[in-house]
Amino acid sequence: MNFLTGRFAGFLGPEQKLGPLVRLFRANFRPYARRYAFALVMMVIAAAATAGSAYIIKEIINKIFIEKNEGLVFTIAGIIVAVYLVKGFATYFSSVTLTKIGNSLVARLQRQLYDAVLRQDIAFFQSHALGDIMVRISQNASAARSAIDLIVLSLGRDLFTLISLIAVMVVQNPTMSALSLVIAPIAIYGVTHLLRKVRTAARKEVVTSAQIITIVQESVQGIRVVKSFGLEDRLRAAFGRATANVEQLSNRIATLGARSSPLMETLGGFAIAFVVMFGGYQIVHHNADPGAFFSFITALLLAYEPAKRLARFNLDLEKSLVGVRMMYEVLDLVPELQSAPDAVEARFEAASVRFDRVDFAYGEAPVLRGLSLTVPANSVVALVGPSGAGKSTVFSLVERFYDPTGGAVLINGTDVRRFTVDSLRRHIALVTQDTFLFDGTVAANIADGRPDATPAEIEAAARDANAYEFIMAMPGGFEARVGEGGGNLSGGQRQRIAIARAILRQAPILLLDEATSALDAQAERDIQEALGRLMTGRTTFVIAHRLATVRDADLICVMDKGEVVQSGTHEQLMAEGGLYAHLRALQFRDETPTVAAVG
Ligand code: ADP
């Protein structure tokens, strides 16, 4: 099941809605508590200053315009400047503090998300598109920040401002205050019903954004295939559809959100018109206090913006909450494959590996059926067989990327499930066919084999891997950068860096998937020689493509459809005939350079 599209059900009750929020606050409030408190105090001060600016209107009208008290002009002007000064600085400090908290929160959540993703087992990565994962890490943390910002700003700034302005209104004219507040429930009701639609659309938007990223990423990674097969049009069309979908969904969210505006504006217009009529009537016929009336109407006008934002609060929160929920889906993912609670540290110098009637399936269809195989310590077993026979799966089970569905994989007689996953993998070095290097220096890539290796050990590993010379010929030597995915190096050079990395690991078990691509004769010899050194003194599983490797192996296992159909040495198997002899003719590359026959 795709975790982006699964589980999500349309409308959620208040508990489900508050759940992620409560969690978000619980987990992240404490480190920022003091800064939040400071921001809150600043927002209260700014709110009070806003109310003060409305309150003072009464004095301006009554003392200056009606009583014409000249002596108070400067005092009042001074007070006005002071009030706005306070408001300005308080707003500045609160917004800077909140921004910093927000940035720190995003960084913190992104680290947690990345950790959660790294923690997952291989099966997770097989079943989730990279785009999903990337969107979750990049967008969901920001959504969490918006949710918190929204709550703090709404409660701190808008609610306090509103309350203090209502206080001013009540002080200046209690009757009119009561009457104009009747509007509030109507507004809240109107906005709430827009919620459900926004929620669904926001969720879809995130999913579709993930598709966009997946398409871009695949296009970049597979650019050679894209160009040589002329797939641009197909990809452009897919990309066009995804972007059009996002556009449509964003529009829908915006339209739904904006629908609150006509509602609020109309209601606001009615409220003000009513106040003007009622207040005017009181002044004309009952000689009411004009200063109080203007102060009231100022407070009402100022209250309008925060009230509008508070009315939309739920709506905006809903959008961010979609991201928060999706974030917790990732943080809550528990990898199926983990160390057992009573697992022990693996500790061995030499490893004999045994597959004991191992059954395995990725899904429904069995991939390994009762596979039994014994590899004595420090010997080399070559796995051969048609593609799809299950050779790579054997590797995955030794690494414990997956657990067998039946039987067991044993190292020195101990089931690998008894070891902690980390300690088991420290005893294994993997050399894959498509060598993967990280963008960084040559030295750093070799050191990935064993992070505590000294420069001298790195150099020795490079020499053993026949990589020393070409490394030294590169500008910068060991400090030269390999480029993204090792792009600055040739295929043969990448392989030798990968071999050096594996040599440095000093692991008793080696899993080697020989490269299928042919190199020039010299590079082949260099690599063969390096591999020879790498295999010495280790228990080696090799998915063999070269005849020399197969010939030299202590044991050859011929696999077909998840079973070992033949095993023995090269000579024995050639004598037996069968699948091996057949494969021999088809599959193995003889790297002794041959002169192509010219027709
Ligand atoms: P080989 O290495 O011999 O080519 P594999 O071990 O890669 O064979 O694959 C064995 C079988 O398992 C194949 O039928 C393949 O389609 C299937 N398979 C391999 N990896 C997966 C996976 N991640 N999910 C589902 N099926 C898989």
What does 193-234 look like in DSSP terms, one character per residue?
TTHHHHHHHHHHHHHHHHHHHHHHHHHHHTHHHHHHTT-HHH
* Residue (of 447, 426, 425) closest to 438 by Cα position: 447
**Reported confidence tier of residue 590, pLDDT bands at 50, 70, 90:** low
User: Taking 50 as the threshold, does the pLDDT of residue 559 lie above it?
Assistant: yes
Whose Cα sits closest to atom 7 in ligand 1?
A: 392
User: By three-state DSSP, how is residue 567 classified?
Assistant: strand
| Whether residue 17 sits in one domain with residue 137 | yes
Q: How far is the CA of 561 from the centre of ligand 1 (A)?
A: 10
Q: Of the residues 299, 331, 363, which one is the last residue of a structural domain?
A: 331
| Whether residue 286 sits in one domain with residue 140 | yes
pLDDT in the model for residue 596: 41
pLDDT in the model for residue 592: 54
Give me the mean pLDDT over the 185-201 stretch: 71
159 located within any domain: yes
Give me the mean pLDDT over the 476-498 stretch: 87
478 located within any domain: no
Ligand 1 pocket check for 129: Cβ under 6 Å: no
Identity of the residue numbered 340: A
Q: How far is residue 472's CA from residue 468's CA, in Å, rounded to a whole number?
A: 6
Q: How far is the CA of 35 from the centre of ligand 1 (A)?
A: 53
User: Taking 80 as the threshold, does the pLDDT of residue 337 lie above it?
Assistant: yes
| Whether residue 421 sits in one domain with residue 319 | no
Whose Cα sits closest to atom 16 in ligand 1?
A: 388
- Report H helices in 222-349: 223-228, 232-258, 260-286, 290-331
Ligand 1 pocket check for 116: Cβ under 6 Å: no
Residue 354's H or E segment, with its range, is strand 353-361
Whose Cα sits closest to atom 5 in ligand 1?
A: 390
Ligand 1 pocket check for 544: Cβ under 6 Å: no
* Residue (of 584, 582, 525, 575) closest to 550 by Cα position: 584
| Whether residue 263 sits in one domain with residue 163 | yes
Considering just the CA atoms, what is the radius of gyration of the chain in Å? 35
Q: How far is the CA of 578 from the centre of ligand 1 (A)?
A: 23
202 located within any domain: no
pLDDT in the model for residue 8: 35
* Residue (of 573, 534, 569, 542) closest to 554 by Cα position: 569
pLDDT in the model for residue 10: 36
Q: How far is the CA of 567 from the centre of ligand 1 (A)?
A: 21
* Residue (of 350, 359, 266) closest to 308 by Cα position: 266
Ligand 1 pocket check for 592: Cβ under 6 Å: no
pLDDT tens sequence across 36-79: 999 999 999 999 999 999 999 998 888 888 888 888 888 888 99
303 located within any domain: yes
Structural domains in the chain (count):
2
User: Taking 60 as the threshold, does the pLDDT of residue 14 lie above it?
Assistant: no
User: Taking 80 as the threshold, does the pLDDT of residue 591 lie above it?
Assistant: no
Q: Of the residues 310, 331, 352, which one is the last residue of a structural domain?
A: 331
Ligand 1 pocket check for 102: Cβ under 6 Å: no
pLDDT in the model for residue 17: 62
Q: 351 lies in which domain range?
A: 343-427+538-599
* Residue (of 495, 484, 552) closest to 520 by Cα position: 495
Contacts of 66 (CB under 8 A, 6+ apart): 290, 291
| Whether residue 29 sits in one domain with residue 69 | yes
Q: How far is the CA of 362 from the centre of ligand 1 (A)?
A: 8
Q: How far is residue 203's CA from residue 317's CA, in Å, rounded to a whole number?
A: 13
Least confident of 86-95, 224-233, 331-340, 569-578: 224-233
pLDDT in the model for residue 213: 80
pLDDT in the model for residue 4: 39
190 located within any domain: yes
Whose Cα sits closest to atom 12 in ligand 1?
A: 367
Contacts of 223 (CB under 8 A, 6+ apart): none
Q: Of the residues 285, 307, 331, which one is the last residue of a structural domain?
A: 331
**Reported confidence tier of residue 576, pLDDT bands at 50, 70, 90:** confident
455 located within any domain: no
Ligand 1 pocket check for 562: Cβ under 6 Å: no
Contacts of 483 (CB under 8 A, 6+ apart): 439, 489
Output 117 or 272, whichever has higher pLDDT.
Answer: 117
Mean of pLDDT over the chain: 85
574 located within any domain: yes
Closest ligand 1 atom to Cα of 393: 6
CB 112 within 8 A of CB 144: no
Q: How far is the CA of 390 from the centre of ligand 1 (A)?
A: 6
Ligand 1 pocket check for 365: Cβ under 6 Å: no
Ligand 1 pocket check for 391: Cβ under 6 Å: yes
**Reported confidence tier of residue 2, pLDDT bands at 50, 70, 90:** very low
pLDDT in the model for residue 12: 43
| Whether residue 352 sits in one domain with residue 294 | no
Ligand 1 pocket check for 383: Cβ under 6 Å: no
| Whether residue 392 sits in one domain with residue 368 | yes
Give me the mean pLDDT over the 349-360 stretch: 94
pLDDT in the model for residue 309: 83
473 located within any domain: no
Q: How far is residue 344's CA from residue 542's CA, in Å, rounded to a whole number?
A: 28
* Residue (of 337, 369, 343) closest to 565 by Cα position: 369
Give me the mean pLDDT over the 80-88 stretch: 93
| Whether residue 371 sits in one domain with residue 298 | no
Closest ligand 1 atom to Cα of 562: 10
Give me the mean pLDDT over the 286-304 stretch: 88
Q: How far is the CA of 385 from the centre of ligand 1 (A)?
A: 13
Query: 400's torsion region: left (phi>0), alpha (psi -120 to 50) or beta?
Result: left
Q: How far is residue 592's CA from residue 583's CA, in Å, rounded to a whole number?
A: 18
Q: How far is residue 480's CA from residue 474's CA, in Å, rounded to a whole number?
A: 7
Ligand 1 pocket check for 387: Cβ under 6 Å: yes
Choosing from 121, 358, 359, 392 the residue with most ligand 1 atoms within 8 A of its CB, the one to mutate for a pocket test is: 392
Closest ligand 1 atom to Cα of 396: 6
Whose Cα sits closest to atom 14 in ligand 1?
A: 388
Whose Cα sits closest to atom 24 in ligand 1?
A: 362
User: By three-state DSSP, how is residue 443 classified?
Assistant: helix
| Whether residue 274 sits in one domain with residue 182 | yes
Output 107 or 136, whichever has higher pLDDT.
Answer: 107
pLDDT tens sequence across 112-155: 999 999 988 888 888 887 777 888 888 888 888 999 888 888 87
User: Taking 70 as the threshold, does the pLDDT of residue 599 lie above it?
Assistant: no
pLDDT in the model for residue 64: 85
Ligand 1 pocket check for 367: Cβ under 6 Å: yes
Whose Cα sits closest to atom 22 in ligand 1?
A: 362
Ligand 1 pocket check for 536: Cβ under 6 Å: no
pLDDT in the model for residue 472: 94
pLDDT tens sequence across 204-234: 877 787 788 878 888 887 787 788 778 889 8
| Whether residue 320 sits in one domain with residue 350 | no
| Whether residue 406 sits in one domain with residue 269 | no
| Whether residue 352 sits in one domain with residue 317 | no
User: Residue 500, Cβ neighbours under 10 Å: how many?
Assistant: 29
Give me the CATH number covering residue 172.
1.20.1560.10
Partners of 554 in the beta sheet?
Answer: none
Give me the CATH number covering residue 348.
3.40.50.300
User: What's the pTM?
Assistant: 0.77
